[in-house]
Structure 1
Amino acid sequence: MLRTGKIQRFDETRGYGFIIPNEGGDDVFMHANDLLDEKYLYQAGREVEFFVEMGDKGPKASEIRLIHQSAQRRPERDLASSAVTYQTADGAGPTVATLRGELTEALLEADGTLTADQIKRIRARVLDLAHAHGWVGA
């Protein structure tokens, strides 16, 4: 079944990333070998359509196509100099989605050898801690 979602993170150099499905559920692993358009066009926030298949390490996207193509290339984000707001309007801290995205980027930046399953397990544990301590908003 064809699905749609947004790219959460894609590292053009390493050739992999994650898609957040529009229908919810776990992030889906994406690899450069499954892209139908030019690799540099796949950037965080871009809408894609894809099929889900079972890979060696869990669900992965295949036949990934951009929904709205753009020839414009945005510069990569530098995490060290990025200004990120960690407070929601009610002062409760970042949203779960924001923390999940930032954590994924930080893990990929820290160790490019982590597998998708390892990243998901680490992220789940940190999100459990964040919930338990009230560090995240809705």
Structure 2
Amino acid sequence: MLMTGRVLRFDEVRGYGFIAPDEGGEDVFMHANDLLDDKYLYGEGCQVEFLLEMGEKGPKGSEIRLLAPAPRGSTAGAQASSRIAAGEFRTELTEALIEAVPTLTAAQLRQVRGCVVELTRARGWLT
């Protein structure tokens, strides 16, 4: 059954959270594998649409789609506004790495920086 609701909480690291259905009733479990949009977009207060299923432990959402972003001041909204351009981040990261570990070779620096940049892109922290 297709339903709508608001995200009560979502832990990006653990990959799960809960939705309060608009129709009321029991909170619905949500898992990152069931999200149709990037997981960093889902935060407290986001309005979502989902298919309601019964899981082993109770109601579970699947095919969860973002309908409206989190209200201003929420975790997801703050995260989106703190994004920076990839080039700016790469420059700041390079300076921080050189200052922290001056013995890094250029090859090591590129390797570490590449790994960190990919991680931040995957998390949606770069524009």
Structure 1 gaps, min length 5:
76-138
What does the per-residue CA deviation read over 1:28-74, in whole Å, with 9 as the maximum and x for residues that have no partner?
0000000000000000000000011111211100000000258x752
CA contact (8 A) 1:40 1:73 kept: no
Percent pairwise identity: 66
Letter in 2 for 1:29: F
Whether the 8 Å CA contact 2:7–2:45 is kept in 1: the answer is yes
Tell me which structure has the larger Cα radius of gyration: 2
Distance 1:69 1:45, change over 3 A: closer
CA RMSD of aligned residues (A): 1.6
Aligned residues: 74
Give the TM-score, by structure 1 length. 0.50
Residue 51 of structure 1: aligned partner = 51
Counterpart position of 1:2: 2
User: 2:69 and 2:20 mapped to 1: Cα distance?
Assistant: 18
- Name the structure with the higher strand share: 2
SS at match of 1:33: helix
Q: Which runs of 4+ in 1 moved over 4 A?
A: none
Q: Say if 2:5 and 2:19, in contact at 8 Å, map to a contact too.
A: yes
Q: Match for residue 35 of structure 2?
A: 35
